[in-house]
Structure 1
């Protein structure tokens, strides 16, 4: 069973885009596990859970899109996609990581 977590903070609108794309990718891949939502409300929360920005999508506790040297904080993330910078990974990128072990 895969554990999927979507970490976000409310004032960053990109988490809603990521949520939609994640649900689409999960449907396409036949992944039926529920999404755990973690709302980050303060810098202290961000530090405590090592939140590197909104949205953060964790697969089995690991962020397949997170740079290893990222500092925790409350910021909107930008993802380098094949379509240029976006506020969320693409559906295709999400599909690729749903069944692949994250290192």
Structure 2
């Protein structure tokens, strides 16, 4: 499983999403699975790599939180969580996305 976090320079939610992703990986029994974080410099790069707002989490190249009709954007992103809108998914939402990816062999 390849996991990449895409962020814009200075993303205020980078640390939060990295902490929650690490917690979700550990909780899912994937404690040896790592992830990379890539800083996306501009709109052109956002379009090439699939950044639909910062932070974007890609699991095997797919965004498990993608909403239909969302286009690449070099801007901040908000996530729907059980507690309202937030700058990153809850750890449980991430754990569920990881479990679904593992069941599907990484195909979301």
Q: If the length of structure 1 is used for normalisation, what is the TM-score?
A: 0.91
Poorly superposed stretches of 4+, deviation over 4 Å: none
Q: Which runs of 5+ in 2 are unaligned?
A: 102-106
CA distance in 1, matches of 2:36, 2:68: 23
Q: Which runs of 5+ in 1 are unaligned?
A: none
CA distance in 2, matches of 1:43, 1:60: 22
How many residues were matched structurally? Answer: 102
CA distance in 2, matches of 1:46, 1:8: 9
Q: If the length of structure 2 is used for normalisation, what is the TM-score?
A: 0.87
Range 18-27 or range 68-77, more displaced: 68-77
Q: RMSD across aligned C-alpha pairs, in angstroms?
A: 1.2
Q: Kindly indicate whether the alpha-carbon contact (under 8 Å) linking 1:12 and 1:75 is maintained by their aligned counterparts in 2.
A: no
> Are positions 1:9 and 2:3 aligned together?
no
